[in-house]
Amino acid sequence: MAQLILLPDKERSVLRRHPWLFAGSVGRLVGQARPGDTVEVLSDRLKPLGRGAYSPASQVRARMWSFDPAEGIDDVFFKRRVAQAVARRQALADLRDQDGLRLIHGESDGLPGIIADRYGDTVVIQLTSAGAEKWRRAIVNALVQATGCSRVYERSDSEVRAMEGLAPVTGWVHGEAPAAPVTVLEHGVRMAVDVEGGHKTGFYLDQRDNRRLLGELAAGRAVLNCFCYTGGFSLQALAGGAASVLSIDSSGPALDQARANLALNPQLPAARAEWLEADVFQALRDFRKAGRQFDLIVLDPPKFAPSAAHAERAARAYRDINMLGFKLLTPGGLMMTYSCSGGIGIELFQRIVARAALETGRDARILKRLQGSADHPVGLACPEGEYLKGLLVQAD
């Protein structure tokens, strides 16, 4: 096994059990290692610190598999780690009977570069690191054994793979495509999941609890759902008794799927739903000119800042969309506003929303801080995993 020897005083992050070793912390590689190979990580004084996956093309030069220098990284290791991740979710009552569930959440489950979501009998994996790529077969086998699912689809088409020197990979890696569309039942609402062509792994499981909260708040309210994708928030609002739900997205195919999802739920009042294909920013400006207002607004935009380097530009976009939201919100109305940008921390996001309220002359207060569901945990040693953050605010 090759050895990755750190520069002086660069072992502190490893001792704090942070799983990433950046190129600037690495002194030298002793021996031969190909992308994804397991290397022994040592301090500059040659103290063993653990074992990680080597990635020469990435600024994250290694991702730690284990902080135990003696632990073997093999098929048995992945079988154990995957089984532990699945068992942790089964131990939580709110997650136990969910049709749609994140089974592996990367670093937070001790499996950096590995995402696995289950939709009924189908598991969708996304492998974003050289180490995960190296152990693809072991990961798939471990998931099949831990879940009993009959099929696994790979969606390793994230842009992050390019930073690891990896090409996109998609396709069925275990079992065959199902005869019927994949669907999940979430809080009484049926949703179709496009595992092959949808965003991420086909659905935004991280917003499950927040969609339920929206349904609890929606009764009798005029709801505006911005960046609605396939209608998860919209359908929960209808299920919660919303007076009307206007949903906007720039993607025609996503809106077609949203309409199809509504049709999967004949118990919902379809006449109260309106779908609009448009640029959200321009649509909200047009609503403002027309004097329209809404009692409950959802702002769940795409990632504006993939890294901290994009934070300044992204902050302007988040401020603009929140200003438009405040301008359209009725007095006493509620707004659920989110950022899924890793480069925007919760403190910065709160300042952005506060500034948007100030610049629109609204007195607003936070009723609740919002985050991902419990199957998207955040490791205490790796806070960078907390990408989704949100606020439920009320404005006078």
CB–CB of 51/39 below 8 Å?
yes
Catalytic residue, chosen from 226, 228, 340, 382, is 340
What is the mean pLDDT of the segment spanning 200-224? 97
pLDDT: is 384 or 83 the higher one? 83
Environment class of residue 46 by beta-carbon count within 10 Å: exposed (0-12), middle (13-18) or buried (19+)? exposed
What is the mean pLDDT of the segment spanning 41-59? 97
Q: Is the pLDDT of residue 305 over 80?
A: no
CB–CB of 268/196 below 8 Å?
no
Give the pLDDT of residue 313: 79
What are 310-361's pLDDT values in tens digits? 677 788 899 999 999 999 999 999 999 999 988 888 999 999 999 999 999 9
Q: Which of 41, 17, 21, 19 is nearest to 29 (CA)?
A: 41
Environment class of residue 45 by beta-carbon count within 10 Å: exposed (0-12), middle (13-18) or buried (19+)? exposed
CA atoms within 13 A on the CB side of 121: 10
What is the distance between the alpha carbons of residues 214 and 296, in angstroms, rounded to a whole number? 9
Give the pLDDT of residue 303: 81
What is the mean pLDDT of the segment spanning 176-203? 94
Query: Per DSSP, what are the bridge partners of residue 95?
Result: none
What is the mean pLDDT of the segment spanning 359-383? 96
Amino acid symbol at 230:
T
End-to-end alpha carbon distance in the chain: 63
What is the mean pLDDT of the segment spanning 4-22? 97
CB–CB of 21/61 below 8 Å?
yes
Transcribe 201-238 into DSSP letters.
TSS-GGGHHHHHHHHHH-TT-EEEEES-TTTHHHHHHH
What is the distance between the alpha carbons of residues 42 and 172, in angstroms, rounded to a whole number? 38
**Residue 340 designated active-site:** yes
Q: Which of 119, 6, 118, 117 is nearest to 52 (CA)?
A: 6
What is the distance between the alpha carbons of residues 138 and 116, in angstroms, rounded to a whole number? 13
Q: How would you list the strands of the sheet with 151-156, edge to edge?
A: 100-105, 114-119, 122-127, 151-156, 169-174
Give the pLDDT of residue 306: 62
Give the pLDDT of residue 367: 98
Domains recognised in the chain with CATH numbers: 3-66 (2.30.130.10), 75-182 (3.30.750.80), 204-395 (3.40.50.150)
384 — pLDDT class (breaks 50, 70, 90): confident
CA separation (Å) from 77 to 70, 83, 104, 110?
A: 12, 10, 15, 11
Give the pLDDT of residue 309: 66
pTM: 0.93
What are 254-287's pLDDT values in tens digits? 999 999 999 999 999 999 999 999 999 999 999 9
